[in-house]
Chain A
Amino acid sequence: MNELSKTLGGVPVEFLHIAIGLVALAAFVGLNAVLLVWMERKVAGHFQRRPGPFEVGPHGLLQTIVDAVKLIGKQIFVPDGADKMLFWAAPFLAFLPVFVTLLPIPWGEVIVAHEVNLGLLLILAFAGIGVLSLCLAGWSSNNKWSLLGAARAVAQSVAYEIPMLLSVLAVVFVTGTLNLSEIVSSQGTGTFSWEGSLFSWLIFKQPLAAIIYFVCALAETNRAPFDLPEAESELTAGFHTEYSGMGFGLFFLAEYANMIVVSGVATALFLGGWNSPFGATSGPWWFLAKVYVLIFVMMWLRWTYPRVRFDQLLNIAWKWLIPLAIANLLLTALLVKVFSHPLYM
């Protein structure tokens, strides 16, 4: 890295690190979007005991690319009376925060685009920009159904941000740091001999926080059973009704990229990141395997549960998740402070 910096005329190494990281992450997100759409359709097919896409490419692998070409070829139009600047700002705003949120995620022991001491805070902050994009999309479409969809989406996202933050905070209390790389490192080493590598994972020390975080992650990414904003059978397409071709494609892409982000954060926080469960073969492959398992679980949940009603959605957040998250946080704080046990340090 230092040699590269010198050859480029003294560009700061940190800058190079971030630039290369961003390019690699952009490639990763692009590749994953193609892969995940295919995976979703195949998994959906198998849950419904049918093959899914099969003809285009071997086992339908090229289906997503062909669909993307079709989307690109569609006519792009802006509805009459829509606010043009906001209309086109919305899909980009949905998509761009993904790159920032992917920066602090530790894919391997040294593989991290930009290790930030406040990594978790960065992720939570930029996840909030997605809410703004939903709002803009619904408002600028000049369509009352889109507006309704956007209002629901904003309410959902904002309501579920709170228990997400509280559950993550409990993890921070336990590990004492907001730095994702350090959280992952602290999960590899067990303090007691009986712990080994597997039981030092935070999912065993903070099971309630893990469950709350996962439910909030589903709600934040508008995945079923919380996909009311894009409920095809109820609001046409919710906030992205008026978007054709590439606009819709960008929202779609943003949804899958966000799935990777929240799964990555969940893996780093609760599942020990790149640590292997039996202590020997740690590495980025474990991280990716865990991320894909979590994404598979998200898809499993999508094809199992019916969509929640809007009032049920908010009730779950306000009456169940927030009180439970607060209770968990208080209990964790009590245990950490009172016992100050090495188990919790």
Chain B
Amino acid sequence: MRKEKTLCQKVGRLWSLMVGLKVTGKNFVQPQITVHYPRQTVDNISTFKGHIQLVGKPKEPSVPKCICCMLCVTSCPSGCIKVVKTKPPKEDTSKDAPGDLQTEKKEPPKAPKTPSKWILDFNTCSLCGTCAEVCPVKSIEYSCDVYSAGFSRQDFVYDLLDDLKVRAAAAPAPKKAEKKASAAEPAVAKEEAKAE
């Protein structure tokens, strides 16, 4: 049984209506807390697992570590990765003497273990992470791209080799530059000492 409230108590409860109005009124004049995309962007998304991207070699950042083993292509459940291995350089048969072909077995030149095409169709990607898991050289990592918005399906077919080159070009210069900078400092110090 609910305890019956007195009239005073019932009228007193009307004060909560005013409190409510004060709360929403305050909210109305306070600044907005949503991030107004695309005019504002967030920068605390380093742990976000976005679409995959290639990892560059430490000494050649615009070349991926990928060895074209095709494990990611075969293990992808949606079949959205396409990797094309670089073709081997053409055999130079013009210099061979006619007799050589019968006696020696020439080995065909080996194909370099680097991809010429690395396409991700993000339209069908289910973000399962299998490709990153099975890659033997850890050439696949997740990007932090949260702003994937486009106008057509083609916008989501990513050419990851291009993407790697762009990122490598935009990245800060590697350790070589640091060595140069630290080498430059004593030189500058010497010059200053000379000037004094």
Binding site for B on A (CB under 8 A): 43, 46-51, 54, 300-301, 303-305
Contacts and interface: CB of A to CB of B under 8 A. Distances in A.
Interface in B108-150: none
Contacts of B34: 49-51
A220 B89 CA distance: 83
Contacts of A48: 27
Interface centre among A300, A301, A304, A305 (most CB of B within 10 A): A304
Interface stretch (B16-24, B70-78, B154-162): B16-24
A46 B36 contact: no
Contact of B27 (A49, A54, A305): A49
B20 A304 contact: yes
Interface string B19-38: 01101110110111110100
B24 A49 contact: no
Contacts of B36: 51, 54
Contacts of B20: 304-305
30 contacts: A43-B28, A46-B27, A46-B28, A46-B32, A47-B24, A47-B27, A47-B28, A48-B27, A49-B27, A49-B30, A49-B31, A49-B32, A49-B33, A49-B34, A50-B32, A50-B33, A50-B34, A51-B32, A51-B34, A51-B36, A54-B36, A300-B21, A300-B24, A300-B25, A300-B28, A301-B21, A304-B20, A304-B21, A304-B24, A305-B20
Contacts of B32: 46, 49-51
A304 B22 CA distance: 9
Interface residues on B, range: 10 to 19
Contacts of B28: 43, 46-47, 300
A50 B34 CA distance: 6
A304 B28 CA distance: 11
B30 to A, nearest CB: 6
Interface in B60-81: none
Contact of A303 (B17, B24, B30, B31): B24
Given A51-B36, A300-B25, A305 B30 contact: no
Contacts of B31: 49
A49 B30 CA distance: 7
A40 to B, nearest CB: 14
Given A43-B28, A47-B27, A49-B33, 8 more contacts: A46-B27, A46-B32, A49-B30, A51-B32, A300-B21, A300-B25, A301-B21, A304-B20
B23 to A, nearest CB: 7
A156 B34 CA distance: 37
B27 to A, nearest CB: 6
Interface in B9-61: 17, 20-21, 23-25, 27-28, 30-34, 36
Contacts of B27: 46-49
Nearest to A302: B24
A300 B21 CA distance: 8
Nearest to A306: B20
B10 to A, nearest CB: 9
Nearest to B34: A50
A305 B24 CA distance: 10
State the 3 A-B residue pairs at the shortest beta-carbon distance, nearest first.
A50-B34, A304-B24, A304-B20
Nearest to B11: A320
A7 B25 CA distance: 55
Contacts of A300: 21, 24-25, 28
A128 to B, nearest CB: 29
Interface string B154-186: 000000000000000000000000000000000
A48 B28 CA distance: 7
B5 to A, nearest CB: 13
A303 B36 CA distance: 22
A316 to B, nearest CB: 11
Contacts of A50: 32-34
Contacts of A304: 20-21, 23-24
A300 B18 CA distance: 12
A43 B25 CA distance: 11
A37 to B, nearest CB: 19
Nearest to A48: B27
A303 B23 CA distance: 11
Nearest to B24: A304
A47 B25 CA distance: 7
B134 to A, nearest CB: 42
A301 to B, nearest CB: 8
